[in-house]
Structure 1
């Protein structure tokens, strides 16, 4: 089985899953990086451990081989094991294919030994991306007992004796140190100062100060002078994933108060959840690679005045904030929301509350309009993927690709790929 042709320079990226099959923040970033590097003539290879459940999981566990998905330049190739990946990289090395960067987007599901083997082949810098806090704690959002931000300060977590994650935090941090400490040319990349500073509180000794870069996922262009009309009622919308850590329970409390007290507000939910809340109008919105402005357009089309982004955890970036800002929505957020709260204060385009009761009080007192009038900031006309990530690596690749032949046919891997494709076909029926 042959694999995709690649350019003379390439980036190798490791994550926890196939980004073509998911729509999370990490997956979106990897897809954007792939496009940016491809546009610069550099191939982008992504591998991720496959940890399937059900029948496929039983089959792979019986075979007892560490299986990975292989995606090259945005196209899924096949399933491979560790040895096949190592052979592929060594063939590239012999064929004068240059790995110009080794990107680690997530340590989850990956093992130290395999990453070290890749590092021994790579003659380039290693970049670790801080997408969440999974390298610090078992809970990727640093939520105490999965409910609210624990106020993490990098002190020994013995004080958090009542938290269910306290027993695993030391082993997770030891694993992070063992993996990242083994790379000679390690760079840390975070999408915000909030994320970088929080991560460095724990692992600042692992990396040189001049090897830490804050690179937001997007760049802003222009100024949007269009402001949502203010009709009879102020329109407030909850945006994105409808989860507990995103403020679902607080939003339900707001909706109950608005309905029971007959307050003059229109409430909306913009996202993919089908949960119905009395008094809230659901608008289905799904941001996808072929429709990246879906949320922005929905906000503008529906004339939303305020965006409710009540994250209970320190967000490292928040695409929804930038979508709301671009649509010139006032942003209502919680003081623990990380980069959201930081950007609201920086851009003066909303208000940061300590408690949901404070926000409800403002709703009752009808002071939201005053807050809107004091918010003078105008959002950008558009956001685009940040090309600064290319500047970190440097160099342009050869546009003309060469074909890479697959050698040493592995019968067992052929069988595994056939099973995987059959299961994928069955799930799509």
Structure 2
């Protein structure tokens, strides 16, 4: 399994996939970045195999020898953050020379744009414009991969996709988006989780008639997860004396700024404690203010499991999953990410209208 060191939803999925593979009797090795042009091989139980030094991406002969010695039969490509584009060429070489099958898991939009999340310099979803505009964005705002031409970048990933036996995406929105850039016919939609059993849990929530409306935002809230939107909502609520109280169940990329804006921040929570902590907050609703087209969103699952009203922008897998549940009315235009007074007014109206 080739993946990054950045945690988050990708890491959660990788850990769950390790368990699935080990249950079926497969041995699992992890390839993670060491330096930009090198990687280390480890196992789920041993983070560093001291008898196997790091591999340079260009040391093809040594890598092929190691892959054969370890009897690798399949590569799962999850993420290459922390490595350079040479890893794409390396994986294609291994597939072609070692008889290994390749399964690609799409966790974000790195294959479409090296900025990963389809967010431009304005801090909003870019709308996937022309290649000319994409290159202008990359020149202006850069990426973590140096100077890049968007056409060449996409061709590299198209070549990788062409040798994959399967491309796995977690939602139909992801499938539709990827198909605009790839002609590989082996794209399968496989949600990260089994269907939720809504009968198992129900969190006690605030009454629509309460004087204060408690809005909970779940997760690690960075800029792409809507931190700027959340800060603006809290500041607008304070300025206009609106009955909105915002709490982050989790943390933000700037907790000091969040707290200064009047947002409560609980701190990190474990997956096993999430539902209990959410229940303790007795929210009127959950708001997921992501401004990029999410590919799945585990925090949405937590909110749905609690059977709480969930509000979000009409974008990405969050919107796709809510629409699949017949909750189109819980979505608002992404344009409202820049119209904060309208967004807050909408949240108040939706909370007041929501009933158990």
Match of 1:128 among 104, 115, 136: 104
Q: Name the counterpart of 1:68.
A: 39
2:131 is aligned with 1:157: yes
2:86 is aligned with 1:102: no
CA contact (8 A) 1:272 1:284 kept: yes
State the superposition RMSD in angstroms: 2.5
Match of 2:7 among 23, 26, 36: 23
Q: Name the counterpart of 1:343.
A: 321
Q: Relative to 1, partners in 2 of residues 1:278 and 1:144: Cα closer, same or farther, differing over 3 Å?
A: closer
2:7 is aligned with 1:14: no
Q: Relative to 1, partners in 2 of residues 1:277 and 1:224: Cα closer, same or farther, differing over 3 Å?
A: farther
CA contact (8 A) 2:171 2:189 kept: yes
**Larger gyration radius, structure 1 or structure 2:** 1
Q: How does 1:150-189 map to 2 (within 5 A)?
A: 150-152=126-128, 156-159=130-133, 163-164=137-138, 168-181=149-162, 183=163, 186-189=165-168
CA contact (8 A) 1:252 1:277 kept: no
Query: How much does 1:84 deviate?
Result: 4.4
SS at match of 2:266: strand
SS at match of 1:43: coil
Write the deviation string for residues 239-282 of structure 1: whole angstroms up to 9, x where unpaired: 22222222212211211222223222332112133332332221
CA contact (8 A) 1:138 1:168 kept: no
SS at match of 1:316: coil
Count of residue correspondences? 325
Q: Relative to 1, partners in 2 of residues 1:106 and 1:279: Cα closer, same or farther, differing over 3 Å?
A: closer
2:184 is aligned with 1:213: no
Q: Relative to 1, partners in 2 of residues 1:186 and 1:363: Cα closer, same or farther, differing over 3 Å?
A: closer
Q: 1 CA distance for matches of 2:13 and 2:25? A: 18
Query: How much does 1:312 deviate?
Result: 0.9
Q: 2 CA distance for matches of 1:35 and 1:216? A: 17
Q: Name the counterpart of 1:226.
A: 202
Query: How much does 1:47 deviate?
Result: 0.9
Q: 2 CA distance for matches of 1:196 and 1:214? A: 7
SS at match of 2:195: strand
CA contact (8 A) 1:271 1:284 kept: yes
Q: Relative to 1, partners in 2 of residues 1:348 and 1:369: Cα closer, same or farther, differing over 3 Å?
A: farther
Normalising by structure 2, we get a TM-score of 0.82
Query: How much does 1:38 deviate?
Result: 0.9
Query: How much does 1:114 deviate?
Result: 2.3
Query: How much does 1:161 deviate?
Result: 6.8
Q: 2 CA distance for matches of 1:342 and 1:313? A: 13
Query: How much does 1:333 deviate?
Result: 1.0
Taking CA–CA contacts closer than 8 Å with sequence separation of 6 or more, which of the two structures ends up with the larger relative contact order? 1
Query: How much does 1:307 deviate?
Result: 1.3
Query: How much does 1:159 deviate?
Result: 4.7
CA contact (8 A) 1:139 1:165 kept: no
Match of 1:369 among 345, 352, 355: 352
CA contact (8 A) 1:70 1:80 kept: yes
Normalising by structure 1, we get a TM-score of 0.69
SS at match of 2:220: coil
The answer for unaligned runs of 5 or more in structure 2 is 141-147
Greater CA deviation, 116-125 or 310-319? 116-125
The answer for unaligned runs of 5 or more in structure 1 is 1-12, 53-65, 377-429
2:111 is aligned with 1:138: no
Q: Name the counterpart of 1:415.
A: none
Q: Relative to 1, partners in 2 of residues 1:87 and 1:333: Cα closer, same or farther, differing over 3 Å?
A: same
CA contact (8 A) 1:307 1:329 kept: yes
